[in-house]
A and B are shown apart, each in its own frame.
Chain A
């Protein structure tokens, strides 16, 4: 079966699933299982297409749908870049749907008729964004994705917070999309075609002929996609929207939707950027934006007490890493393409790793919410004993995001920061950015230690979760955590596909995967053939496991007993709750130092000038007076009808005389022979 038909099958399955789950919506669990079944069934052909594309290269399948008068045609086009993001979607989506089956039962007032169908349309739209190569149809799927995301975010109808968050999300992203529409139309003016390749040529033409307009177009594209990706300050919608959605949806939003913003940057910005003197400027700008985002967001996350809001800020931070990698890639492209390839490689790997890890964390936060009804970290404590799977998955995912070896986040951050440091030899700015990124990595670790420590490890306090979450909610978390471990242990397995994806984005030649960063047992940072650094996770893990086994064996053979004593509190007996460091009490100097780092800007609605309102009110000063004047005039004329017959006879006589006189006059002048 051809790849295009496989994708068609997947799309049909998802849409059929939407229809069937709508019909079954009265029964929550069956609707959920049906939806999950259809999504899993659709993920299979999607994965097939992904694997075949990586093996055989990109392909294009033209369809007959299009608007030739506008130069737009719907082609199904999958290349390694699309395939990578499609793989991320096809992994997280079935797991999030499976998770939602049980999770949605905890919403008492809101039914699932407005959940599963919309969720499946969301999946279909997201896949649609990835497989088109024409801007008009890209826009159609992009907006469909945004609007289905809106309806998922506002799922909790009664909550004013949800409604406000949804409105903010939709309006901000729609504004960004309209900016992109403007940019595309400016380029279309030159090319009369919306195909991505033609748009690229058009941008080149603009940069050569009208560079100011060309750079404005690039800026608008960057703005549009960066808003969707959640880069600050446009990404302000993210901390409001991600927490209020149902947790399966939050996982999709943080795991997949923001990655689509990155996809847009890689598809419609980076290939269009000029490989010339402007590239280092653009690269520096992008890298600075990414670094600012990761700095502000992670420090703000430190102060959050709502578990999901904390995770949302962490998402903004991690996207900052990806954007930093992209910035380094753009800057280094003209002179040092190898470093550029490494940076982009790291960015893409980070996309994959973060998608799995953040989705896992949101599912974990949702699991806690499901069992305790609580999102406030100050009130959650000691769930680890009762919820071991959730605790283990969340811990793994959190450590991955913090960049702890040998997990996925470490491999990708190693690549990004390594490339950034290498770039620092050329331009010292990147050295500073790399140091900031390293520092924030530490802050991220501190953030998650705080989160995990208080939620899972502290002594239990009410509200206590009664038990672990059901299997259908635990399995997705475990699978996602397992994926971060797998990616972390064997990152070189992904090198070849990722290298193909990088080659799609960067216009210059990218070295083969093995030369780029591949090594016998791990990753190697190589520049001009010289290996500068290596990371061999399997070796490290093997050594660690051996040492752990050794320690375990020795401990078993030890003969000295273990003495249990209460914790020493300097001689006084204290209640554990009184001396336990609460979540709000950790890292206080940092929190105080960076108090105002996320500025709150009061936006006042503009007032419409009253004088203009009066001018525009035509009824009051124009039509009303005119009508009244007409009425008065008519009344005046009416007064001439006095009702006395003699006066009317006088009118008739005067009129007859006048008419006869006029006729005689006209005949006289006209009739002369």
Chain B
């Protein structure tokens, strides 16, 4: 088991080096797909073990701190919460790599990529996959921090992939903002170590009462930066300058989920989050949802719209975690389930946007129309994604949102009805707008931009089909894991 978990990190790291140094593009694609496939298969294989027998193995420590640290420093961890993140990171990672083999071509009308960009891209993508699985299996805050910063670096490199003015600026902005979050995380980890002598997750519960709110608040701010929540949300819409598979993977399914994973981990290790911090977390989550909603109506770029939707949905996860910290296990489970459900649903939407951009060269909602005639599969996938993200049963996010709402109602006092009304209003407006956009782009009379004759390559279509199935099936897969989360 330990070996398998280590392989999850080592295999993509090695593959990154290999893929980066190969000269042949075809060989590079094969290496990337195989490595990502191995990671996905291994991740799925360890999921049942996460429920039956959670694993925490210490593998080493830093020589000059030996004896001063109690609890794990470096090692591997597998429990239901990390299994959910692993599910999303590994499976969508594999699908993203597969999709990229079709997307990064000269034939891409939106973003033609020749030979010179391929090595860079696959290196950083596989390095990111390794960093993400590293975050998922980290048994202590220290290892989490190390891999967290690695994901920041990979994200910077991938956002600036095109290396033109706007993408370099966007990459730098993302780097600085998420690194500010990383600084808060570092401070929190150092304070934790200084006071309790441990880097482990359960050390949070051993913090004295005066210090605990500050440490938790610092962790929350780190998560806000990483997961693009208000007030540190402005980097994500600009990060849409990245190639679309990167937007789908990093900035919808994986990297931004590392932030909410951190908060979920901090909240559930010992259930020590102070109620005031939980209230702040929940309130800012709701504010984020509505701020993001307010930006929907002025977007013409399809990817920017999806970026704002991602920001709102990460708010849902944090709302679930906050309600969980206030006492409702159902809401916490709903928030964690939303990590998986939203990951799949949003990845579907982003990859459809990528397919549209590949074939038509346009991402503008105003310019596109009637695409369902020439791209029926993409249309089906897009509407599946919209229905999933909006939370319509039986699709993915319905179950997680419903659990969050039920959890809110489990709490005493006015919190429940207030959250209920706000979330339902946001759900309705977001659903109406996304449906309207979907109708505008796919249904209706065809516009000149839609007069395309080519279908996206097979690799991209296959991934869309798998993601559509995922939008229906992932709640069933993730629910047993989520139900394994206990107080």
Contact = CB atoms under 8 A, between A and B. Distances in A.
Contact of A163 (B383, B392, B398, B444): B444
A180 B13 CA distance: 50
A182 B372 CA distance: 35
Contacts of A188: 406, 409
A69 interface: yes
Contacts of B177: 623
A144 B410 contact: no
A140 B393 contact: yes
A175 B330 contact: no
A189 interface: yes
Contacts of B392: 143, 147, 174
Interface stretch (B94-102, B124-132, B431-439): B431-439
A139 B424 CA distance: 15
Interface in B261-305: 291, 294, 297
Given A157-B444, A158-B445, A616-B294, A174 B421 contact: no
Nearest to A160: B444
A608 interface: yes
Given A70-B406, A181-B424, A608-B297, A171 B432 contact: yes
B154 interface: no
Interface string B373-417: 100100000010001000011100010001101100110000011
A41 interface: no
A431 to B, nearest CB: 41
Contacts of B483: 69
A186 interface: yes
Contacts of A158: 370, 444-446
Contacts of A160: 444-445
Contacts of A139: 393
B428 A175 contact: yes
Interface string B7-37: 0000000000000000000000000000000
Nearest to A605: B297
B149 to A, nearest CB: 21
Nearest to B399: A67
Contact of A70 (B330, B376, B435): B330
A178 interface: yes
B406 A154 contact: no
Contacts of A175: 428
Contacts of A622: 231
B427 interface: yes
B409 A186 contact: yes
Nearest to A623: B234
A157 B424 contact: no
B191 interface: no
Contacts of B55: none
A178 B234 contact: no
Contact of A608 (B176, B294, B387, B444): B294
A144 B394 contact: yes
Interface in A90-135: 113
Given A158-B444, A616-B291, A140 B231 contact: no
A189 B408 CA distance: 10
B439 A167 contact: yes
B330 A69 contact: yes
Interface string B71-114: 00000000000000000000000000000000000000000000
Interface in A167-190: 167, 170-171, 174-175, 178, 181-182, 185-186, 188-189
B186 interface: no
A619 interface: yes
B405 A181 contact: yes
Contact of B443 (A136, A154, A613, A627): A154
B416 A163 contact: no
B427 A178 contact: yes
Q: How big is chain B's contact interface, by range?
A: 35 or more
A622 B128 CA distance: 30
Nearest to A194: B406
A185 B432 contact: no
B428 A157 contact: no
Contacts of A171: 428, 431-432, 435
Contacts of B333: 69
A185 B421 CA distance: 11
Given A69-B483, A144-B394, A186 B443 contact: no
A618 B232 CA distance: 9
B420 interface: yes
Contacts of B424: 178, 181-182
B373 A185 contact: no
Interface in A264-310: none
A163 B446 CA distance: 13
Interface in B433-472: 435-436, 439, 443-446
Contact of B405 (A143, A185, A623): A185
Contacts of B420: 182, 185-186
Nearest to A179: B424
A28 to B, nearest CB: 16
Contacts of A144: 393-394
A166 B435 CA distance: 10
Contacts of A170: 435
Contacts of A163: 439, 443-444
Interface string A596-638: 0000000000001000110010110011000100000000000
A143 B399 CA distance: 13
Contact of B387 (A70, A147, A166): A147
Contacts of A185: 405-406, 409, 416, 420
Chain A CB within 10 Å, residue with most, of B231, B406, B435: B406
Nearest to B436: A167
Chain A CB within 10 Å, residue with most, of B417, B439, B446: B439
A70 B436 CA distance: 33
B477 to A, nearest CB: 15
A113 B376 CA distance: 10
A170 B291 CA distance: 25
A167 B443 CA distance: 11
Contacts of B417: 186
Nearest to B421: A182
Nearest to A609: B294
B238 to A, nearest CB: 9
A178 B420 CA distance: 10
B434 to A, nearest CB: 11
B232 to A, nearest CB: 9
A175 B330 CA distance: 24
13 contacts: A67-B479, A136-B402, A143-B392, A158-B370, A174-B432, A181-B424, A186-B409, A188-B409, A613-B294, A618-B231, A618-B233, A619-B234, A623-B177
Interface of B: 176-177, 231, 233-234, 291, 294, 297, 330, 333, 370, 372-373, 376, 383, 387, 392-394, 398, 402-403, 405-406, 409-410, 416-417, 420-421, 424, 427-428, 431-432, 435-436, 439, 443-446, 479, 483
Given A189-B409, A189-B416, A618-B231, 19 more contacts: A70-B330, A70-B402, A70-B403, A113-B376, A147-B392, A157-B445, A158-B446, A167-B436, A167-B439, A171-B428, A174-B428, A181-B402, A182-B420, A185-B406, A608-B297, A616-B294, A619-B234, A623-B234, A627-B176
Interface of A: 67, 69-70, 113, 136, 139-140, 143-144, 147, 151, 154, 157-158, 160, 163, 166-167, 170-171, 174-175, 178, 181-182, 185-186, 188-189, 608, 612-613, 616, 618-619, 622-623, 627
The 6 A-B residue pairs whose C-beta atoms are closest, nearest first, are A140-B393, A171-B432, A178-B424, A189-B409, A143-B393, A619-B234
